[in-house]
Amino acid sequence: MTVDARELLEVARAAAAEAGKLLVEGRPADLGVAQTKSSPTDVVTEMDTAAERIIRAAIRRHRPEDGFLGEEGGSESGTSGVRWVVDPIDGTVNYLYGLPAWAVSIGAEADGVALAGVVLAPQLGEEYTAVRGEGSWLGGRRLRANEPDGLAQSLVATGFGYRAERREVQGRIVAGLIGQVRDIRRGGSAALDLCSVATGRVDAYFERGTHAWDRSAGGLIAEEAGARVEGFHGAPASEAMVLAAGSALFPALHGALAALGADDRDY
């Protein structure tokens, strides 16, 4: 079966636009908490659930035979070989607090490989897109990840998990890293962090604890901008680790993180 990745991208863009509109225009003043996941700070808003429903319906209209994995709705297998990996709001806490760095993230994958993806940040007015093999784009601008002059010159983004115990370990790792790099950033949306690697707004990003829906579209966008996006020791990016950086910086950051025990600790 041949898949037209550009067609998948257009389906993704249309679905993201619908969801983005709902999320901006429909954000209630007294934004409520629909449910909580692993801890009270992992807030899943009612809007999150509503946006995923819209995305699912928009995709189904065009591609009823595809599978679906959404942060809020679990998974559904399809028969076409294509699976959509969706985070209706990546950066839920930013959204909840009224910070603009949140995004609708939609990736289309075949056999676990992302073919097309969109990360739409409506309040930043930014739409990032990529099709495998055809580069990544911010609106009409082709993206290229930075190749900074060594680890010490690198601006490194990261994120922290929802569980306090994990955050404490992550904080210690960052404390060990911060003196070795230019500085650290914590934006609050893994998808946008990956896009920031693609644009060169940061030089690298790493995090333990992300999910497939946080990484699918943004990972492709970073890769198509020339970054390496992997886990530790040649493993693919996974919940255990996603590390994204230009090819010269990647080994230096990987080495620094491994030396800090980021690869082997039970956290």
Interaction between residue 210 and ligand IPD (CB under 6 A):
yes
Interaction between residue 45 and ligand IPD (CB under 6 A):
no
Q: Work out how close the CB of 35 gets to ligand IPD at its nearest, in angstroms, rounded to a whole number.
A: 12
Of residues 105 through 164, those in contact with ligand IPD by CB under 6 A are: 159-161
User: Contacting ligand IPD (CB under 6 A), which of 214, 223, 224, 230?
Assistant: 214
Cα–Cα dist 248/231, whole Å: 16
CB of 102 or CB of 137, closer to ligand IPD: 102
CB of 137 or CB of 205, closer to ligand IPD: 205
Q: Which residue is nearest to ligand IPD (CB)?
A: 159
DSSP 91-142: SHHHHHHT-S--EEEEEEEETTEEEEEEEEEGGGTEEEEEETTS-EEETTEE
Cα–Cα dist 68/58, whole Å: 12
CB 116 within 8 A of CB 107: yes
CB of 60 or CB of 185, closer to ligand IPD: 185
Q: Note every long-range contact of 160-169, with CB atoms under 8 Å and residues 24 or more positions apart, other chains counting.
A: 160/186, 160/207, 161/208, 161/209, 162/37, 162/38, 162/39, 162/41, 162/42, 162/209, 163/38, 163/39, 164/39, 165/267, 166/208, 166/209, 166/267, 169/265, 169/267
Of residues 89 through 108, those in contact with ligand IPD by CB under 6 A are: 90-92
Alpha helices in the chain (DSSP H): 5-25, 46-62, 92-97, 164-177, 190-199, 212-224, 249-259
Q: Work out how close the CB of 49 gets to ligand IPD at its nearest, in angstroms, rounded to a whole number.
A: 12
Name the residue with tokens 């901006």. Answer: 24
Interaction between residue 173 and ligand IPD (CB under 6 A):
no
User: Contacting ligand IPD (CB under 6 A), which of 129, 154, 170, 189?
Assistant: 189
| Residues sharing a CB contact under 8 Å with residue 173, sequence separation 6 or more, in sequence order | 257, 260, 261, 262
Q: Work out how close the CB of 150 gets to ligand IPD at its nearest, in angstroms, rounded to a whole number.
A: 26
Interaction between residue 87 and ligand IPD (CB under 6 A):
yes
Name the residue with tokens 């080495």. Answer: 255
Interaction between residue 190 and ligand IPD (CB under 6 A):
yes
CB of 66 or CB of 71, closer to ligand IPD: 71
Interaction between residue 219 and ligand IPD (CB under 6 A):
no
Interaction between residue 230 and ligand IPD (CB under 6 A):
no
Q: Work out how close the CB of 110 gets to ligand IPD at its nearest, in angstroms, rounded to a whole number.
A: 24
108 Rama class: left (phi>0) / alpha (psi -120 to 50) / beta: beta
Of residues 67 through 86, those in contact with ligand IPD by CB under 6 A are: 71
Interaction between residue 170 and ligand IPD (CB under 6 A):
no
Question: Which residues of this chain interact with ligand IPD, rule CB under 6 A?
Answer: 71, 87, 90-92, 159-161, 188-190, 207, 209-210, 214
